[in-house]
């Protein structure tokens, strides 16, 4: 009888409530809107390129670097706000903001307004991942979080597929309807597509705003205390990491000579690396200057200036942790967590490099129209993007049950070790049919890593640290992934006369580093997992 009661209690503890399913549905829809408004640029790239007279490198900047800077930067204070304020309301407000900025792209007649639109979308989306993951971790039982992460992955896949399908079909329909002229506001099809993509975000924001806020830490038995001043703490995070104001905060917090020396030497090394990379890429793929409201700027200077800015932000963030929240510093700065963040960033460089330019490849190399590419590739990518998390989520929970959390590391390692070989095979295809068959296998492999990696990272920190941890990950992932992946593919394509297939294959150069890092993670994961509470207490945390 006792065993039956224990089994019943275990089953009840592992049960996913109706509220949890509803919350997962809404935040997954927010994830879908995030990818829709972010990724739609990829299917519209060919039309934008021809209409505005810009190259693949500039498109890489718009798709990746410009978005990445503000997405990564504002995910930090917004992630801190996730840890202290009402997550449902924050996510709803941010969703409405980025939807508005996505629609602004419809009025762009040059690079500058498109860049402003991407900037606003990046700022708004900064809260999406930290809020969504934090909400799911506080509504799903610990043993079922792989399923929750899979649900978020499905949302991302739907957004990816919708962006291409909707973007391609809507843009072509509009251009055909007004081929003889007379379009309202003189919109081109790609401009109208931005308007259509932005509209669903507003009713969804209303539903999320009304969603009940889950109790923080209840699912882990570690109930978080109420944050007395979350907005002040969020503003302090922003001030602590922005170059320039960070020095005021170092002075205000009585930083010692070692902190000042590390900050200034770190800045010097970052700037030296940026200058070197500007010269190398200018030589490798020279590009004409961008005209941004009368300011002529070399795109390579913009690219590596943004990267340097982001790298200095990361340095400032960890120094801020060390001075103001020693428990968070001790927990987040663990070798395993940092390596998982870098793995996610490098793999995202591959994913965004692939997805950012594959629609253009189908149009240029295989002769598809934007609508055909959008429908065929968009629907395929959406279906495959859902299959991967559906497999990876339950499989992650199963492997964790059999081997502990290291089982998830094995899944990530297996999928990312074989992915480059399928990538090379896929982008060497000679026919559309061959490409789609091989891409189906490749895409599933590319999505298997995400649910277990997220679950591993957020399982290595305390509940109150999940928002800022994921924001820290987002800035690393964004700078390495969005900031480098599309740009790298773009400059290689421009260098090789527009050969997108070889440019996409070339981004797999980071795969050996990914595998090496995962092998180290596999070796030391248990040590860092077992010492989370010890490291938090050593920093003064009362747990």
pLDDT at 252 over 50: yes
Q: What is the DSSP-derived secondary structure letter of residue 405?
A: T
Which percentage of the chain shows pLDDT scores above 90? 10
216 Cβ neighbours under 8 A, 6+ residues apart: 134, 138, 223, 224, 463, 464
CB 506 within 8 A of CB 492: yes
> Pseudo-torsion of CA 215, 465, 309, 311, nearest 10°?
-150
What's the whole-number average pLDDT of the chain?
Answer: 80
Q: 343 or 177, which is more confident?
A: 343
pLDDT reported for residue 265: 94
Q: How many residues does the chain have?
A: 543
Q: How far apart are CA 370 and CA 521, in angstroms?
A: 42
- Percent of the chain's residues with pLDDT above 70: 88
* Res. 428: pLDDT tops 50: yes
Contact 16, 144 (CB under 8 A): yes
Q: What is the pLDDT of residue 55?
A: 63
> What is the per-residue pLDDT for 289?
66
Residue 5 confidence class, pLDDT cut points 50, 70, 90: very low
Return the bridge partners of 297, or none.
Answer: 290
Higher-pLDDT residue of 541, 361: 361
Q: Supply the pTM of this predicted model.
A: 0.70
pLDDT, position 224: 64
Biggest CA-to-CA distance, the chain? 80
CB 230 within 8 A of CB 80: yes
Q: What six digits make up the tokens of 118?
A: 């991407």
- Give residue-wise pLDDT tens across range 433-477: 899 899 888 888 887 887 788 888 888 888 778 777 877 887 788
* Residues linked to residue 290 through DSSP beta bridges, in sequence order: 297
Average pLDDT of the residues in 190-214? 87
Residue 60 to residue 303: CA distance in whole angstroms: 9
Of residues 1 and 209, the one with the higher pLDDT is 209
H, E, C per residue of 441-489: HHHHHHHCCHHHHHHHHHCCCCHHHHHHHHHHHHHHHHHHHHCCHHHHH
- Which helix H or strand E contains 290, and what residues bound it? strand 290-292
Neighbours of 13 (CB within 10 A): 12
| Predicted confidence band of residue 7 (pLDDT cuts 50, 70, 90) | very low
Distance CA 337, CA 469 (A): 9
What is the per-residue pLDDT across 258-271, written as a single tens digit (0 to 9) for each? 889 999 999 999 99
- Given a cut of 50, whether residue 2 has pLDDT beyond it is no
The contacts of residue 106 (CB under 8 Å, 6+ apart) are: 185, 187, 191, 192, 194, 195
pLDDT value of position 266: 93
Sequence-ordered list of residues with C-beta below 8 angstroms from that of 274, at least 6 positions apart, any chain: 304, 305, 307, 308
Residue 286: HSE in the Cβ half-sphere, 13 Å Cα cutoff: 1
What pLDDT, on a 0 to 100 scale, did the predictor assign at position 306?
Answer: 78
CA distance 537 to 475: 27
The confidence band for 209, taking pLDDT boundaries of 50, 70 and 90, is very high
Per-residue pLDDT tens over the stretch 92-111: 999 998 899 888 888 877 77
pLDDT recorded at residue 225 = 66
**Domains, the chain:** 12-214+232-538 (1.20.1250.20)
Residue-wise pLDDT for 353-401, tens only, equals 887 788 788 888 888 877 777 778 777 877 777 787 778 777 877 887 7
List the one residue out of 156, 242, 254 whose CA is nearest residue 454: 156
Distance of CA 366 to the CA centre of its chain: 29
Burial 327-362 (b: 16+ CB within 10 A, else e): bbbbbbebebbbbbbbbbbbbbbbbbbbbbbbbbbb
Question: What pLDDT score does 114 carry?
Answer: 79
Q: pLDDT for 130-156, tens place per residue?
A: 888 888 888 887 777 777 777 777 777
Task: Say which range, 13-22, 178-187, 240-249, 441-450, has the weakest mean pLDDT.
Answer: 178-187
pLDDT at residue 204 in the model:
93
Of 159-163, 453-457, 539-543, which range is least confident? 539-543
For residue 216, CA distances in Å to 25, 140, 332, 341 come to: 19, 12, 19, 24
State the first-to-last Cα distance of the chain, in angstroms, to the nearest integer: 35
Tens digits of residue pLDDT in 9-58 = 445 556 777 888 888 888 888 988 887 877 777 777 777 777 776 666 66
Question: Is the distance from CB of 395 to CB of 455 less than 8 angstroms?
Answer: no
Q: Is residue 256 packed enough to be buried (19+ CB in 10 Å), middle (13-18) or exposed (0-12)?
A: exposed
Q: Picking from 18-27, 37-46, 188-197, 508-517, which range would have the lowest pLDDT averaged per residue?
A: 37-46
- The Cα–Cα gap between 62 and 482 comes to 10
């Amino acid at each position: 009888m006792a065993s039956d009661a224990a089994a019943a209690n275990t089953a009840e503890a592992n049960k996913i409530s109706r509220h949890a399913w509803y919350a997962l549905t809404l935040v997954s829809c927010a994830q879908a809107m995030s990818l829709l408004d972010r990724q739609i640029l990829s299917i519209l790239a060919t039309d934008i390129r021809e209409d505005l007279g810009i190259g693949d490198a500039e498109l890489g900047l718009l798709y990746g670097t410009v978005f990445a800077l503000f997405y990564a930067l504002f995910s930090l204070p917004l992630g801190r706000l996730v840890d202290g304020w009402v997550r449902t309301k924050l996510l709803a407000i941010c969703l409405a903001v980025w939807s508005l900025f996505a629609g602004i792209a419809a009025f762009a007649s040059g690079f500058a307004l498109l860049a402003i639109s991407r900037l606003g979308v990046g700022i708004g989306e900064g809260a999406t991942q930290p809020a969504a993951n934090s909400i799911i971790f506080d509504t799903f039982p610990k043993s079922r979080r792989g399923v929750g992460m899979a649900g978020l992955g499905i949302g991302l896949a739907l957004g990816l597929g919708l962006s291409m399908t909707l973007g391609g079909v809507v843009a072509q329909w509009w251009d055909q309807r007004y081929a003889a002229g007379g379009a309202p506001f003189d919109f081109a099809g790609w401009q109208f597509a931005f308007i259509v993509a932005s509209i669903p975000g507003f009713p969804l924001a209303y539903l999320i705003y009304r969603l009940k806020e889950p109790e923080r830490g209840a699912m882990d038995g570690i109930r978080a205390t109420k944050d007395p001043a979350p907005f002040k703490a969020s503003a302090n995070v922003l001030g602590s990491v922005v170059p320039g104001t960070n020095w005021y905060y170092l002075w205000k917090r009585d930083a010692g000579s070692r902190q000042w020396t590390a900050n200034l030497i770190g800045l010097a090394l970052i700037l030296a690396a940026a200058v070197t990379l500007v010269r190398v890429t200018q030589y490798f793929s020279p590009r004409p200057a961008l005209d941004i409201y009368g300011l002529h700027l070399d795109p390579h200077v913009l690219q590596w200036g943004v990267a340097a800015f982001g790298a200095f932000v990361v340095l400032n963030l960890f120094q801020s942790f060390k001075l103001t929240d020693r428990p968070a510093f001790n927990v987040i700065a663990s070798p395993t967590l940092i390596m998982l963040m870098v793995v996610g960033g490098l793999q995202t460089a591959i994913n965004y490099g692939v997805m950012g330019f594959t629609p253009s490849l189908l149009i240029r190399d295989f002769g598809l129209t934007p609508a055909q590419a959008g429908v065929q590739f968009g629907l395929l990518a959406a279906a495959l993007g859902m299959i991967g998390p559906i497999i990876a989520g339950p499989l992650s929970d199963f492997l964790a049950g059999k081997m502990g959390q290291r089982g998830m590391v094995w899944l990530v390692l297996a999928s990312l070790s074989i992915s480059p070989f399928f990538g090379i095979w896929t982008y060497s295809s000679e026919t559309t049919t061959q490409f789609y068959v091989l891409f189906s296998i490749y895409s599933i492999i590319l999505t298997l890593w995400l649910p277990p990696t997220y679950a591993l990272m957020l399982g290595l920190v305390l509940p109150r640290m999940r928002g800022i941890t994921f924001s820290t990950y987002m800035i690393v992932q964004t700078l390495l992934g969005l900031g480098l992946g599309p740009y790298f593919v773009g400059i290689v394509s421009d260098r090789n006369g527009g050969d997108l297939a070889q440019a996409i294959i070339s981004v797999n150069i980071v795969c050996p580093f990914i595998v090496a890092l995962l092998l180290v993670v596999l070796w030391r994961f248990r040590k860092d997992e077992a010492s989370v509470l010890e490291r938090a207490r050593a920093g003064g945390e009362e747990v």
